[in-house]
Amino acid sequence: MKRRVFRQTTRRLGASLTVRLGAPQPGAIGHYDRRAREIVISPALSHAGRIVVLVHELLHAVDEQIVASGVTRHELPHEWITAAAPQLVAALSALGVRVPAWQTMRRFFEGSERGAEL
């Protein structure tokens, strides 16, 4: 899959996003920047950690779109998203969904960290 295909897929979900490895906000291992429509994940995390953070931040992005669409007026509590992300990753894994090695996902990510060991 090329980066363009990934962006088209997220656009169909109502959340066109850029995802990259980089320095997240201080004290965080990842963050979703609503204005930039960007997810930033710490490159210091393990593969599994990066996947959990990616799912966590995608939940924030999708939640924002649900609120913006008028389906609900309130965002999900951050605590719920924090608890749900690893459970979703575990459920997908139990169902046999395989996440490619982070190196093969590299093309989804932009930024100066490309040269860093992923």
- Kindly report, residue by residue over 47-56, the tens digit of the pLDDT: 889 899 999 9
- Kindly report, residue by residue over 50-92, the tens digit of the pLDDT: 899 999 999 998 898 889 889 999 999 999 999 999 999 999 8
User: Which range has the worst mean pLDDT, 18-32, 39-53, 63-77, 90-104?
Assistant: 90-104
The residue segments making up the domain with residue 62 are: 3-115
Q: Following CA atoms 66, 67, 73, 74 in sequence, which dihedral angle do they give, to the nearest 10 degrees?
A: 90
Domain total in the chain: 1
State the pTM of this model.
Answer: 0.76
Res 81: pLDDT: 96
Res 52: pLDDT: 93
CA distance linking residue 27 with residue 30, whole number of Å = 9
Q: Is the pLDDT of residue 117 over 50?
A: no
Long-range residue pairs from 7-12, CB within 8 A, at least 24 positions apart, any chain: none
Q: How far is CA 115 from CA 57, 81, 84, 86, in A?
A: 23, 31, 32, 28
Mean pLDDT for 112-117 is: 38
CA distance linking residue 106 with residue 92, whole number of Å = 21
Provide the CATH number for the domain around residue 21: 3.30.2010
